[in-house]
């Protein structure tokens, strides 16, 4: 739904979300999630029913758990159309910082690839001999520069963050990201879920205060692993896209457009999202 929201002006579309401006409210935005899912850098053709509403519910829940962190949710008298209400967030328009604030408790994915190449991630040297999925001695802040839509984010050292946003804001981004990660991973851990890594985005409000933005601590911005599986040696058993990834790996050579997911994979994936959200928010 890229342009049919009465009372709202369509601004831009991401892979799995659209951004609107409420007419007459220049200080607000509307983030609308959709049921599309991306894997292997492709938005898959078949949506996952209920996914957007579940992840919106999860983001709202995390914002409530992180009550000590200012966030961009707006409490404004603006009617959000019923058609999108359960998958939309009305938010304060911020001056966004061009930094993906990534925190890693475990080494995997692009971080592990960089580690294998350089022995470090975002300029942070790591112990030798780490294997994919290993827990790090302590969570690390590994920022990335926000790439254009569709391109990969580029890991950058903290010094570059300082050049981008200034020393005070850079330190606030790092300390706030690490603090939120510690709080969130403790909450997840208590429910049998490993928060392996996550990505936060922040902006400044009109008073210059640092505000947590975007979506937070969802499977789109984070890796959530089954702790029991990890403990038994099955590493990286994800809660969301593992089913999709496994099916694609078995039915697609990675060339051209990904094949349509079968009904059974779509349904199991939808169930898995629900399982994660209900486990975390219980
Ligand atoms: C990346 C994301 C996006 C969402 C949906 C579709 C495409 C991009 N986005 C969020 C903002 C944004 N700008 C100003 N104030 C804010 N509170 C936010 C937020 N969140 C700009 N882009």
CA distance 183 to 198: 13
CATH of the domain at 206: 3.30.470.20
Nearest to 101 by CA among 153, 151, 72, 141: 141
Instruction: Mark whether 161 and 77 lie in a shared domain.
Output: no
Q: Which of 14, 87, 93, 96 to mutate for ligand 1's pocket (most ligand atoms within 8 Å of CB)?
A: 96
Tokens of residue 251, six digits: 């039915």
Instruction: Mark whether 159 and 185 lie in a shared domain.
Output: yes
Write the pLDDT tens digit of every residue in 5-21.
999 999 999 889 999 99
Q: Is 72 in the pocket of ligand 1 (CB under 6 A)?
A: yes
Instruction: Mark whether 69 and 139 lie in a shared domain.
Output: no
Does ipTM come in above 0.95? yes
Terminal Cα-to-Cα distance of the chain (whole angstroms): 31
- Report the domain count for the chain: 2
Atom nearest to 89 CA in ligand 1: 20
Q: How far is CA 86 from the centre of its chain?
A: 18
Specify the range with the lowest mean pLDDT, choosing from 127-136, 189-198, 227-236: 227-236
CATH of the domain at 80: 3.30.200.20
Q: Is 196 in the pocket of ligand 1 (CB under 6 A)?
A: no
pLDDT at 239: 80
For residue 1, what pLDDT band results from cuts at 50, 70 and 90? very low
Token pair 């949710």: residue: 73
Q: What's the pTM?
A: 0.95
Write the pLDDT tens digit of every residue in 21-47.
999 999 999 999 999 998 888 889 999
Instruction: Mark whether 153 and 116 lie in a shared domain.
Output: yes
Q: Note down the domain range covering 191.
A: 95-252
């Amino acid at each position: 739904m890229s342009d049919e929201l009465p009372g709202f002006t369509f601004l831009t579309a991401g892979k799995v979300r659209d951004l609107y401006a409420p007419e007459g409210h220049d200080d607000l935005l509307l983030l609308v999630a959709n049921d599309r899912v991306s894997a292997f850098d492709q938005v898959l053709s078949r949506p996952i029913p209920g996914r957007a509403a579940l992840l919106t519910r999860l983001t709202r829940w995390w914002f409530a758990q992180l009550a000590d962190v200012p966030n961009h949710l707006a409490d404004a008298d603006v009617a959000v159309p019923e058609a999108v209400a359960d998958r939309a967030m009305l938010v304060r328009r911020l001056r966004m910082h061009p930094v993906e604030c990534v925190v890693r408790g475990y080494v995997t994915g692009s971080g592990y690839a960089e580690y294998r190449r350089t022995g470090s991630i975002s300029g942070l040297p790591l112990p030798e001999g780490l294997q994919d999925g290993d827990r790090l001695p302590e969570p690390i802040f590994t920022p990335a520069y926000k790439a254009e839509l569709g391109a990969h984010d580029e890991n950058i050292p903290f010094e570059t963050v300082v050049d981008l946003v200034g020393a005070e804001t850079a330190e606030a981004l790092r300390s706030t990201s690490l603090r939120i990660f510690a709080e969130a991973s403790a909450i997840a851990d208590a429910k049998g879920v490993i928060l392996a890594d996550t990505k936060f985005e922040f902006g400044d409000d009109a008073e210059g205060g640092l505000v947590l933005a975007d979506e937070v601590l969802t499977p789109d911005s984070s890796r959530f692993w089954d702790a029991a599986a990890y403990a038994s040696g099955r590493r990286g058993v994800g809660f969301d896209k593992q089913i999709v990834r496994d099916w694609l790996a078995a039915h697609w050579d990675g060339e051209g457009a990904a094949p349509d997911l079968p009904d059974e994979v779509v349904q199991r994936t939808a169930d898995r999202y629900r399982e994660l959200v209900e486990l975390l928010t219980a």
